[in-house]
Each structure stands twice: as structure tokens, then as C-alpha cells.
């Protein structure tokens, strides 16, 4: 467990690569081989990866938690709603084997925008200022796990992102 905390940036990239690799494997196995993957040069709109398949472009914010973890909320950048078909995928993984799944999805159907974030709780900084006050982060919203839709398999994630395989 200590390694997951100490090397969280390494783990985050590893989970991202495993996730993208699984999506590419699905595209390969289905003979389409049309999945394109891109990364933003600057991270100021909340997404981690851009995926395109079947003429659909998805701007995806990735989140990761190990199975059994206590995290019940995720922070989402409001600019993600400005992107066509923006979405958030919360990936659960086994901390020993790194096997992925289940997945939790927040977004619209393939080709539809992110659901409105109006009225969603504004996130606060995790650390307080010198007086202990935690300032609001006006561009960040906090979603509860109950606002996400559970998806059990990576094949089903692909279908949610791009429609029928």
C-alpha cells in the first residue's frame, strides 16, 4: 500500500496505459483498428486523453482507485463539459495484480455532451491557508460515486464510449 502512495504519479500513468492498451486490444480483436489516442499538451480543461473511434471523439478524464479504497468522490473540471462527448471514467484496480475493473462512468451517451454540472458541489482545496480556511476551487466540481454508472467490463466501457462494437 505504501508504494501506491509514494509512487502515485507512476501508478497513475501505469493505470492509464493499461486502460488505453485494453481499449486498443478491443479495437484490434474486432478488426476495426480505428481507435486513435491523443494526449493534451497542456492540462487545463480536465481531460487526460482524447479517444476517437467510429467518428466519435471523447475527451476523457481518468480517475483511479484501488479496490477496497475509501474514496467516495471525484473532482471534475467544469471545462470538460465544453468538450464534445466529454466524460469521466473512474477505474478501480486490484492493488496487487493491477487487474482493471469495475469502471464507473460519468458522461452522456456516445456523441452527447457531459451532463450539466450546475448545482454540483464546488470543490475546495485540500490544504487550508494560514488561518486553516480551505478556499473554493471555482472550476472544479465534486461528484459522488452515486452519480457514476457502474460498468463491469472494459468491452462494455468501449461500447459506452463509442456505441456498438
The pLDDT tens digits of the residues spanning 53-98 come to 989 999 999 999 999 888 899 999 999 999 989 999 999 999 999 9
Quick: pLDDT tens for 115-152.
988 778 888 888 888 888 898 898 999 999 999 999 99
Query: 3-class DSSP state for residue 77?
Result: strand
| CATH architecture for the domain at 2-115+143-162 | 3-Layer(aba) Sandwich (3.40)
pLDDT of 4 over the 90 cut: no
Rg (CA), the chain: 16
Integer Cα distance of 9 and 94 in angstroms: 17
Q: Would you say residue 104 has pLDDT above 70?
A: yes
* CA of residue 117 relative to chain centroid, distance: 16
Pairing between β-strand 87-93 and β-strand 56-66 as defined by DSSP bridges: parallel
Q: Which one, of 116, 138, 106, lies nearest residue 125 by Cα? A: 138
Could you state, in order of their start, the residue ranges of all structural domains in the chain? 2-115+143-162
Residue labelled with grid coordinates 487487474: 99
Partners of 75 in the beta sheet?
Answer: 142
Q: What is the pLDDT of residues 18-55, one digit of tens each?
A: 999 999 999 999 988 899 999 999 888 889 999 999 89
Query: Among 117, 54, 127, which residue's Cα sits nearest to residue 87?
Result: 117
The model's pTM is 0.91
Q: Is the pLDDT of residue 3 over 60?
A: no
Amino acid at each position: 500500500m505504501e508504494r501506491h502512495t509514494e509512487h502515485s504519479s507512476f501508478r497513475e500513468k501505469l493505470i492509464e496505459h493499461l486502460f488505453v492498451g485494453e481499449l486498443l486490444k478491443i479495437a484490434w480483436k474486432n478488426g476495426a483498428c480505428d481507435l486513435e489516442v491523443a494526449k493534451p499538451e497542456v492540462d487545463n480543461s480536465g481531460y487526460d486523453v482524447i479517444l476517437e473511434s467510429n467518428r466519435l471523439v471523447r475527451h476523457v478524464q481518468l480517475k483511479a482507485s484501488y479496490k477496497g479504497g475509501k474514496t467516495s468522490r471525484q473532482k471534475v473540471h467544469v471545462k470538460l463539459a465544453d468538450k464534445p462527448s466529454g466524460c469521466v471514467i473512474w477505474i478501480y484496480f486490484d492493488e496487487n495484480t493491477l487487474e482493471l475493473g469495475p469502471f464507473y462512468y460519468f458522461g452522456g451517451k456516445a456523441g452527447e455532451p457531459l451532463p450539466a454540472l450546475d448545482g454540483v458541489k464546488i470543490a475546495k482545496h485540500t490544504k487550508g491557508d494560514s488561518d486553516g480556511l480551505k478556499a473554493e476551487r471555482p472550476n472544479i466540481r465534486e461528484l459522488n460515486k452515486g452519480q457514476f454508472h457502474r460498468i463491469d467490463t472494459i468491452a462494455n466501457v468501449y461500447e459506452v464510449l463509442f456505441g456498438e462494437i
